[in-house]
Amino acid sequence: GAEEKVDDGLLAGGFESLEDMLEKYLPEEELGEARRLLHGLNQGKPVGAMPLREGAIEAKEMLREEGLDLDVKAFQFEAAEEELREPRKVIMGVIQNSVDVPTTEPFRVQKQALIDKIEKMINLAGESGVQVCCLQEAWNMPFAFCTREKKWSQFAEDVETGESMVKIKELARKWNMVIVSPILERDTKKCDQVWNTAVVVGHTGNIVGKHRKNHIPRVNDFNESTYYMEGDTGHPVFDTKYAKIGVNICYGRHHTLNWMGFGLNGAEIVFNPSATVGALSEPMWAIEGRNAAINNSCVTCPFSFHLPLVSPSLSHKRIRSTTSQKNNGNIGEILITTG
């Protein structure tokens, strides 16, 4: 039979992003105008890239020598200076990770491999000075929510005692970092009910709180009610050491009132960790995130990445997208780590 075409997630011509395509084909002046129209300006200037710290560069090189070649980018949003208040700077990071171990391996092996990988990536974020770091949706497992196979629910764990959460709390203490850890939660106090949950871990390793995904897709293969129920936590905002943060998990980004709920509850930063396919959502990611930032006067960080998707129809698709948007009243730095 005909050989199946593998979708590597790249755009036509082998480009990884629209930015790469524009940089190749547009002269400098036209490129600046295109970016202005697509992304807007920050204090009258394009959003500026910023150099990584020396320790982060060294750590990244060491990981590359170990075989973990990461794409690390940093950007800075500025705010107008004020006379009566000191500037406030928050360093945020989002981590997008791939799956390295074949999904035919024992679940315990797959899970531990991801924990080990994320530990290295969070250590790099720590070397980069990140204060608030968000991992992707269900980071400690392959993306299996389109298979309708219940066996993948075995990756669910207790937010206090699960292997993934124990490691995340340890890393939060190590780096004095707030970490948002989206996992499949097994609610041991409620008949082992499974939820799609973002756990917010404070800088001392304490659990500040959690938000359970409140909008579940039922689109084509993505019938995620096979695995977990709609969340029951409303739109909580967590007052951490560095900022007031909300977490709008994956499919919730399509619902304008979902973003508004976090905004009305006082969120300064709303993360949107996702795991999805480009054909379904890629044209909307940046638009939804930017509109949400404008409408709710907050910083939004939508991002998505997973490899591979565990699905007969989607098994070779690669997803990769990160956008960060801000309104005109906040200051922050964004670190993006992909691998």
For residue 332, pLDDT over 90 is answered with no
Predicted pLDDT at 224: 83
- Please tell me the predicted confidence (pLDDT) of residue 182: 97
Confidence band, pLDDT 50/70/90 cuts, at residue 177: very high
For 13, which DSSP code?
Answer: G
Catalytic residue among 137, 185, 288, 333: 137
Q: Is 213 a catalytic residue?
A: yes
Mean pLDDT of 43-49: 84
User: Model pTM?
Assistant: 0.89
Range with top average pLDDT, 76-85, 143-152, 191-200: 191-200
Mean pLDDT along residues 275-301? 83
Instruction: Please state, rounded to an integer, the average pLDDT across all residues of the chain.
Output: 85
What letter represents residue 293's amino acid?
A: A
Tell me: pLDDT of 338 over 60.
no
Type of residue numbered 130? V
Rounded to the nearest 5°, which phi and psi values hold at 297? 50, 50
Q: Which of 213, 268, 317, 326 is catalytic?
A: 213
Spatial neighbors of 154 by CB under 8 A, at least 6 apart, are 107
- Tracing tokens 């105008």 back to the chain, one arrives at 33
Residue 306 contacts residue 99 (beta carbons within 8 Å) = yes
Asked about 134 being catalytic, the answer comes back as no
Instruction: Give the span between the Cα atoms of 126 and 118, in whole angstroms.
Output: 12
Mean local confidence (pLDDT), 267-287: 81
Predicted local distance difference test score (pLDDT) of residue 229? 86
Which of 133, 134, 146, 250 does the annotation list as catalytic? 250
Which tops the pLDDT comparison, 4 or 290?
290
